């Protein structure tokens, strides 16, 4: 199947998932499973959420699919995860071995994308995807992952969080 078609198909499935999920937590759990299963180069897919009230701010691992990671809690001044949450910007790293910020999760990881999740205009967490393939996150993939993060932010807002 052509890559664009696959991405469109997955986007349609996450839209439906957002409509049918009972809670944001339910949506995040189903979403990581779907993305991990359906897109072969998404080898680790997970959410980190900002711990409410933590000072200094702390990202805490939430729903994920893939290998167990040692990075369960990440402060905002560490890792690619910290950089994305601190800046509120998507961070894409095509070759993690060349980025000094990178916190290793798996030796097989070659590239990574981290997209902030916003609720009520504030960063509340992020969607992190690692790939065993270098430069996996093309603009089409970036758009899909950003769309997924946006759906979770909207679900959090709808549930009053
Ligand atoms: N690589 C991330 C840490 C999380 S693991 O990829 C699951 C980072 O550099 O922040």
Nearest-CA residue for ligand 1 atom 1 is 103
- Mutate which of 81, 101, 102, 131 for ligand 1? The one with the most ligand atoms within 8 Å of its CB, which is 81
pTM value?
0.96
∠ CA 153-109-77, rounded to 5°: 55
pLDDT at 28 (0 to 100): 98
Which residue ranges in the chain fall short of pLDDT 70? 1-4
Strand partners, 38: none
pLDDT at 2 (0 to 100): 65
Dist. CA 130 → ligand 1 center (Å): 8
131 closest CA partner among 58, 37, 53, 43: 43
pLDDT at 132 (0 to 100): 98
């Amino acid at each position: 199947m052509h890559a664009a078609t696959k991405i469109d198909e997955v986007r349609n499935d996450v839209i439906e998932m957002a409509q049918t999920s009972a809670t944001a937590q339910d949506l995040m759990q189903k979403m990581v499973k779907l993305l991990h299963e359906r897109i072969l180069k998404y080898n680790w897919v997970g959410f980190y959420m900002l711990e409410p009230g933590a000072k200094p701010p702390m990202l805490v691992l939430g729903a994920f699919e893939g290998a167990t990671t040692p990075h369960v809690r990440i402060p905002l001044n560490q890792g690619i995860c910290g950089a994305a949450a601190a800046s509120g910007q998507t961070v894409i790293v095509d070759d993690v071995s060349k980025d000094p910020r990178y916190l290793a999760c798996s030796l097989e990881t070659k590239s990574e994308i981290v997209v902030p999740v916003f609720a009520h205009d504030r960063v509340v967490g992020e969607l992190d995807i690692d790939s065993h393939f270098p430069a996996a996150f093309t603009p089409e993939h970036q758009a899909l992952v950003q769309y997924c993060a946006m759906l979770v932010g909207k679900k959090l807002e709808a549930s009053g969080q």
